[in-house]
């Protein structure tokens, strides 16, 4: 097997992400209740349900078109800080992969790097600010391997490990920053959803 991923494969992986978000949305909202306004799980679940409805209606898209559809849908349905940020992430990823019919390992690594660049351009967060950037930076750095599955597995493992590193941090961006020192002691919801997304992509790529 080539280790690559075509348009239907990318669409299937995005459906797996939607299922994982649906599964974890109560926990994501619980985390956001600790240091935010308690809507992150609902926001993400609403967005990815809308994505699945659009994938049902429009099949046979190339990888970049699927990623662009995800971007546009998240931007218009998720709301909050995370909607435009994840929207930008998927839009930059779509631009990075271009109009190829088949993503290889290098393309996935480049897409992740582009996604991180988009989030940082839009949200201006740096590592240590207690945001999704704290999961995306180690994920993008770890995103290496000979196949798409290996690249995503490495990225997902790094993002998963990064969630715990956000617990002691004091938030410097987003709503959680209003809490100051009281934001310490809780995992960041956005870093957690990033780990959920990458974990689901990695699982899907194995199949």
Alpha-carbon 52 to chain mean position: 16
**Nearest distance in Å: CB 102, ligand ADP:** 31
User: Which entry of Mg ion, ligand ADP, none binds 169, CB below 5 to 8 A by partner kind?
Assistant: none
State the virtual CA torsion across 9, 109, 89, 171 in degrees, nearest 10.
130
* Binding of residue 92 to ligand ADP (CB under 6 A): no
For 175, what's the count of Cα atoms within 13 Å in the CB-facing half-sphere? Answer: 16
Select the binding partner of residue 45 from Mg ion, ligand ADP, none (C-beta < 5 to 8 A, by kind).
none
Asked if 183 touches ligand ADP (CB under 6 A), the answer is no
Cα Rg for the chain, rounded, in angstroms? 16
- Name 6's bridge partners: 102
Question: Please, which residue, 25 or 40, has the CB nearer to ligand ADP?
Answer: 40
In this complex, which beta carbon is closest to ligand ADP, that of residue 132 or of residue 205?
132
Q: What CA–CA distance (Å, rounded) separates 172 from 62?
A: 38
Roughly what angle, to the nearest 10 degrees, separates helices 189-206 and 7-35?
160
DSSP class of 78: T
Out of ligand ADP, Mg ion, none, what residue 132 binds, judged by CB under 5 to 8 A for its kind, is ligand ADP
Residue of closest CB approach to Mg ion:
36
Asked whether position 131 contacts ligand ADP by CB under 6 A, the answer is: yes
Site track 24-53 with Mg ion (rule: CB under 5 A), x = hit: --------x---xx-xx-------------
The pair of three-digit structure tokens given for residue 153, joined into one six-digit string: 């597995």
**Which residues make up the interface to ligand ADP (CB under 6 A)?**
32, 36-37, 39-40, 43, 80-82, 85, 119, 123-125, 131-133, 173-175, 188-191
């Amino acid at each position: 097997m080539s280790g690559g991923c075509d348009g239907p494969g990318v669409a299937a992986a995005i459906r797996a992400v939607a299922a994982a978000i649906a599964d974890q949305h109560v926990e994501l909202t619980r985390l956001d209740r600790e240091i935010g306004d308690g809507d992150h799980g609902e926001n993400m679940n609403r967005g990815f349900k809308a994505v699945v409805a659009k994938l049902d209606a429009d099949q046979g898209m190339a990888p970049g078109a699927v990623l662009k559809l995800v971007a546009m849908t998240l931007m218009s349905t998720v709301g909050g800080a995370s909607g435009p940020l994840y929207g930008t992430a998927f839009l930059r990823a779509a631009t990075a992969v271009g109009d190829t019919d088949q993503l290889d390992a290098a393309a996935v690594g480049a897409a992740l790097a582009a996604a991180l660049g988009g989030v940082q351009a839009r949200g201006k967060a740096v590592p240590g600010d207690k945001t999704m950037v704290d999961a995306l930076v180690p994920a993008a750095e770890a995103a290496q391997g000979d196949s798409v599955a290996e690249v995503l597995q490495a990225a997902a493992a790094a993002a998963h490990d990064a969630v715990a590193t956000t617990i002691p941090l004091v938030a410097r961006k987003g709503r959680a920053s209003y809490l100051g020192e009281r934001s310490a002691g809780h995992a960041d919801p956005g870093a957690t959803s990033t780990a959920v997304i990458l974990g689901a992509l990695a699982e899907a790529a194995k199949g």
